[in-house]
Amino acid sequence: MQETPSTILIVSFSIYTIGIVMAGLISARFRKDTTDDFYLASRELGPWASALSASASSESGWVMLGLVGAAFTGGVSTLWLIPGCAAGYFFNWYFVADRVRRASKKTGAQTLPELLASRFGERAGLVRGLSLIIIGCAMIAYVSAQMSASGKAFEAMFSLPYWVGVVLGAGVIMAYTITGGFRASVWTDVVQSSFMVLSLIAIPLVMLTHIGGLAGMVNGLRNTGSELLSFSAGNAGFGLLGFVLGWLAIGWGYPGQPHVLARFMGTRDSRAVRTGGVVAITWSSVVFLGAITLGLAARVYFGSLDDPEQALPLVAREFMPPVLGGFVLAAIMAAIWSTADSQLLVVASTATRDLRAFFDRSDSRENTRLLSGPDRRYGNVNRRTVFVLGLTAAVLAVSETRVIFTFVLYAWSVLGASFGPVIILGLAWKKTTRQGAIGGLLVGSIVSVVWKNIGTLSGALYEIVPAFLLSFASVIVVSLVTQPKLIPEENRRASGNLVTREGKTSSERGALITVPAKEES
């Protein structure tokens, strides 16, 4: 007797899951028992690994489900996202990435809060503390969106209750993350990013053949509603400006994403960064265009859906043979897992590495130390942190079926507006001060939250625009106001730093790390 489609789906999906686990286990053979390897894979990532891992970590279930759903609802106006994100990728790889890599290598920093603390002469001060709080809160929201995407995917493909899909996805994510590490995360990201791009090339092509190609899609959208073919989505004047700017500004968030910056810290050298940028920009452009094309084609075929964010799994179930349908579900889960595991690891490493700085006065820059004795203890803290964060995110996801696209963009804004300006100015502008960084972190996070929760404001303009601009301005203004006042030349210290009237060296008040733009590894 022939197997039912659901059984074949389960088998093909299980094959993928086993393959991912095997990739993680194989990566363990290359593990070195040092803290630098535990957090950053000994900073040995090549261009393809760093590019595909960083890309898969940033483009999650919000692309495979959320962006497809946004295109289904909003039509061709969703295409505004592509130039915005492409510009964000370019800036991140060719302005931010190598500066972050070199600064983290120079100071031995292994997390974003540690990098900022080193930059501004702290060990366990306010910059590090605020970074911990922002990352913890925003990542819970972000991971919750991934859990919600898992619930929707299992619901659409296997007709399981939404909450069951959330629990299953959370269980796999936590088990996989707890047993793995940064190297395993990167290796599996490479596999998962490959699944994502193949799916978002193949499935839109299959859909187009069923609706008469591009011409059939355009005609179908015109018959469904002329607004679906409008790049303005019915907006005019300032409303149109806010609409377009909101889509383009999504790219502003890339420099402030801790799980992406961690990949830059782990990249091997400047050449790998330059090559990785080409790979990442190409990958992302294909993925975004494929997701939007799929959403538009699905709108023509289905007409309407109760939940447009389930369009991709519904298309897979409708048009793909069961065995391939299982691999499509695997591609969706690949997007979810590749982001969730990266985010859980970021929070876990922040908890173990940065919280440790508040209680352990030993040298945090000693990154080649063997993991033994007390360091093993922090590995257990790492795992417990992953479990608690994952459980909290799952509870939030179960409590409410979320619009993934909107919820991810909220967390994206908080992280991007808080850390982006501080990272950009902190590593490129020598006059950035500790007080300026604190101002940027506070303004970026507070404005994002307040703007999002005032309906008239969030409806008019995506919150990252005002939050990022105000945070950027805050870093500059506060830094200029708090510039150290230098006393005469004869009071130089042996280190060569000028002594300020407050009794601190210029490096303690201002730029501790300066990384020339053309410096090589």
Mean pLDDT of the chain: 83
CA dihedral (119, 124, 127, 131) in degrees, to 10, reads 110
Quick check: is 464 in a domain?
no
Give the ranges where 59-181 is alpha helix by DSSP (H): 61, 68-74, 81-91, 97-107, 112-119, 126-158, 162-179
- Residue 495 confidence (pLDDT): 43
Judged against a pLDDT cut of 60, whether residue 511 lies above it is answered with no
Largest CA distance in the chain: 92
Range scoring the smallest mean pLDDT among 150-154, 221-225, 258-262, 337-341: 337-341
Number of domains in the chain: 1
62 phi and psi, to 5 degrees?
A: -70, -25
Judged against a pLDDT cut of 90, whether residue 313 lies above it is answered with no
Residue where the block lists tokens 């400047």: 270
Structure tokens that stand for 197 in this block: 């791009």
- Residue 376 confidence (pLDDT): 52
Structure tokens that stand for 388 in this block: 């608690």
Give the pLDDT band of residue 324 (cuts 50, 70, 90): confident
- Residue 379 confidence (pLDDT): 54
- Residue 432 confidence (pLDDT): 96
Quick check: is 466 in a domain?
no
- Residue 359 confidence (pLDDT): 65
Cα distances (angstroms) measured from residue 48 to each of 45, 51, 193, 272: 8, 5, 11, 8
Give the pLDDT band of residue 392 (cuts 50, 70, 90): confident
Segment 239-255, tens digit of pLDDT: 999 999 999 999 999 99
Segment 189-211, tens digit of pLDDT: 888 888 889 889 999 999 999 99
Quick check: is 74 in a domain?
yes
Judged against a pLDDT cut of 50, whether residue 507 lies above it is answered with no
Q: How many CA atoms lie within 13 A of 119 on its CB side?
A: 35
- Residue 78 confidence (pLDDT): 96
- Residue 371 confidence (pLDDT): 44
- CATH code at position 180: 1.20.1730.10
R_g of the chain, CA atoms, integer Å? 23
What is the pTM for the complete model shown? 0.86
Quick check: is 83 in a domain?
yes
Give the pLDDT band of residue 349 (cuts 50, 70, 90): confident
- Residue 382 confidence (pLDDT): 67
Quick check: is 414 in a domain?
no
Q: Is the dihedral of CA 296, 297, 301, 305 positive or negative?
A: negative
What is the rounded average pLDDT of the residues 304-331? 84
Range scoring the smallest mean pLDDT among 21-30, 245-254, 484-493: 484-493
- Residue 489 confidence (pLDDT): 54
Write out the residue range of the structural domain in which residue 181 sits.
5-365+386-406
Quick check: is 251 in a domain?
yes
Quick check: is 182 in a domain?
yes
Quick check: is 485 in a domain?
no
